[in-house]
Amino acid sequence: MNRHPHRSIGTPLDRVDGPLKVTGGARYAAEYGAEGLLHGAVVNSRIARGRIIAIDSDAACAVPGVRLVMSHLNRPPLAADDDSYEDEDSADGSSFRPLFNDRVLYNGQPVALVVADDLQTARYAAALVTVEYATEPHATDLRRQLDDALPAPAELPGPRGDADGALASAPVRIEAQYELPVEHHNPMEPHASTVIYQADGSLLVHDKTQGSQNSQSYLCHVLKLEPTQVRVQAAFIGGAFGSGLRPQYQLPLAAMAALMLKRSVRVALTRQQQFTFGYRPRTVQRLSLGADAEGRLLGLVHQVTGQTSRFEQFTAHVAEWSGMLYHCDNVRLTYRLVPLDVYTPLDMRAPGAAEGVYALECAMDELAWAAGLNPLHLRLINFTALNQNLGKPYSSKALRDCYSEGARQFGWPTQMPAPGTLREGEQRIGLGMATGVWEAMQMPASASAALAPDGSVVVASATTDIGTGTYTAMTQIAAETLGLPPEKVRFVLGDSSLPQAPLQGGSFTVSSVGSAVREACLALRQTLLEAARQLPSGPFQHIADDQVQCSEGHLQAASSSQRIAFTELFQRYGSLQASATAHPSALRQRYATATHSAVFVEVAVDEALGTVRVRRVVSAIAAGRVVNPKTARSQILGGVVWGVSMALHEASLMDHGLGRFMNHNLAEYHIPVQADIGDIRVLFVDEPDAVVNPLGSKGVGEIGVVGVAAAVANAVYHATGNRIRELPITLDKLL
């Protein structure tokens, strides 16, 4: 069939779920009720390592309204006692299972759950539970344990060329160490699970998750249930950023309590408890760069050391970017892990790239100044159209356009003023820039499409919407494919019973689920045409597929006035539907696929106080075809704010004597407020890509973060002449 004339993709459409969100109609995991719903409060360990000797719950059980105090001593025998299961985002090792045994693996570990008639009673009774521990020596400080580092199970490319030899003979060399702290996700909606116990003994679960089917399979395994006994829903999610990729401990706790009591149970974590599971890990990175007199890279060594738990080996893609972003024939990348008495780290938005590209782009800035080159010029002369890690060309890479258009709109100088020379009164002004990169992935995904009586279409997939605009983007893809206005499409998501979808993460939802939605709608369009050909009048019996298009709720012959309404087809045949599964094409195997960006930043540093203000940012993005420029711009704006936050604000501070995070709240875990953010300009460059997927879309969730922290750090150096290599850049470090 011909492409229909109705255009939805590329239109800055308002969020279709916006009215529900702003009126309170959107319900989140902790907002679903049930008759006789009970509430759980978690008791967390107060030591970092050791064993539980005794748990005294008598005082808690004596409180009126308390229904259960659950611990490793009385948890359901259904819980799995083996290590064979891995969730979709698990790390190498033995996954943590709450209340598994008497071992304490980290400070903050859940050791008991108190279930009561209401939340206040549950929390009060939880405070009465006393736990006696046998403590063991613990280690939680990455810096002090660097000698314990072990090779990480990371999929790094092997060394190419002779990096050490090239560095030794390079006319221009720099070597520097960069450190990033632990960061916690802190989405607006804390993690919660409402487990509704059904009359037949099955569970209907409303969970804060980035994958309803992942949570379903996890519960089925650890509680030895059949998939028909567990249905997980996640219609709305108040931010996740990776914290919902793995099932967090409130989910199995609530499910175990519901099965024990045969009652509906909700467990919602407090803000403080948001600091008792995964996080962006602390890393120490050493970069060595060597270049010739013109600035061409001759050798590069990137050594990463990160922290992990003692029971899992968490790795992120931290070092790979240094082998692919610029042309360099002599590269060596290493990644080591230090096992500590902490919980396992977890992917956080742009995992690995946010850390690794920060170090690389700061090192590139240092190399530019050492070589006497404009930092932008250094990047341009090292541009590569080939991913040397893979030995493959990029399917598209409009990074040069990002550099040129971003520099033009920012006003990047051709001749850089010397560091510390730009001033406005008491303010020192600095300019910094960096490159960003993120992989453009596609995962297998499925979707269904069904015709409704009024001629509208209901499209469904088990994907989620963590605030990124999935409802809206999928609506637009379906609307364009079927020639309908967006208001005639309803997209249903966030239910484990719907067609299979991968976890929402990695910026691949539009590429993966969007491709499946397109395929399902194409299949429905063919189903409608076949139905029309069966009509007695048969207006389309002798018209080829490619001579029929969908337009405004009709099948329309391209060469005549013959048409038939979707509503007429429904009246005749009832609900017509189709489903499809989309896979990455074989063509992708011949190419590397990635999004890119160029970030330009201006800062003002108060000479007397050392305070830093990011006055303006220009972020130029090459992300293929943008489905919705409005929501995509919002994604980049949020990413830039997070990058500023990484550079200047965020750090989870641990008392290593206790092995416990001290600033586990939003008063002391610093993130930017509105007054901290200056002008942000987002621009998308044109980047056609027929390889990456049928939509030509690469996704924008992650790329907005990458490179921003480095651009801010580079601007601070330009303002002050003081190179701060440990984030966040706070006034004490500057002074």
Nearest in space to 470 (alpha carbons), one of 631, 355, 342, 312:
631
Nearest in space to 169 (alpha carbons), one of 291, 61, 329, 253:
291
Collapsing DSSP to helix, strand or coil, 30 comes out as helix
Contact partners, residue 709, CB within 8 Å, separation at least 6: 354, 358, 643, 644, 646, 647, 727
Token pair 């220009």 in the structure block, residue: 618
User: Cα 667 to chain center, whole Å?
Assistant: 24
* Rounded to 5°, angle at Cα 385 from 381 and 390: 120
**Using CA atoms, how far apart are residues 172 and 166, in angstroms rounded to an integer?**
11
Strand partners, 700: none
Residue type, 324: M
Tell me the HSE value of 695 on the side-chain side, using a 13 A CA sphere. 36
What is the DSSP track for 489-513?
Answer: EEEE-SBTTSSP---S-TT-HHHHH
| Whether the bond into 5 is cis, omega within 30 of 0 | no
Nearest in space to 645 (alpha carbons), one of 705, 605, 604, 690:
705
**Using CA atoms, how far apart are residues 185 and 74, in angstroms rounded to an integer?**
32
Q: How many CB atoms lie within 10 A of CB 546?
A: 9
Task: Write out the two tokens for 423.
Answer: 């001033």
What values do phi and psi take at 432, rounded to 5?
A: -145, 155
From the candidates 320, 602, 650, 702, which is the catalytic residue?
702
Nearest in space to 347 (alpha carbons), one of 601, 702, 674, 635:
702
- Catalytic (active site) residue 687: no
Collapsing DSSP to helix, strand or coil, 519 comes out as helix
Dmax over CA atoms of the chain, in Å, equals 86
Instruction: Specify the DSSP class assigned to residue 144.
Output: G
Query: Please, which contacts does 728-734 make with residues 24 or more away whose CB atoms are closer than 8 Å?
Result: 728/181, 728/646, 728/647, 728/648, 728/649, 728/650, 728/651, 728/670, 729/612, 729/647, 729/648, 730/648, 731/609, 731/610, 731/611, 731/612, 732/610, 734/605, 734/610, 734/612
Task: Write out the two tokens for 395.
Answer: 């399917």
Collapsing DSSP to helix, strand or coil, 643 comes out as helix
User: Cα 687 to chain center, whole Å?
Assistant: 23
- 512 and 443 Cβ atoms separated by less than 8 Å: yes
Using CB atoms within 10 A of its CB, is residue 586 exposed (0-12), middle (13-18) or buried (19+)? exposed
* Rounded to 5°, angle at Cα 662 from 659 and 668: 155
Task: Write out the two tokens for 226.
Answer: 């059949």
Catalytic residues: 702
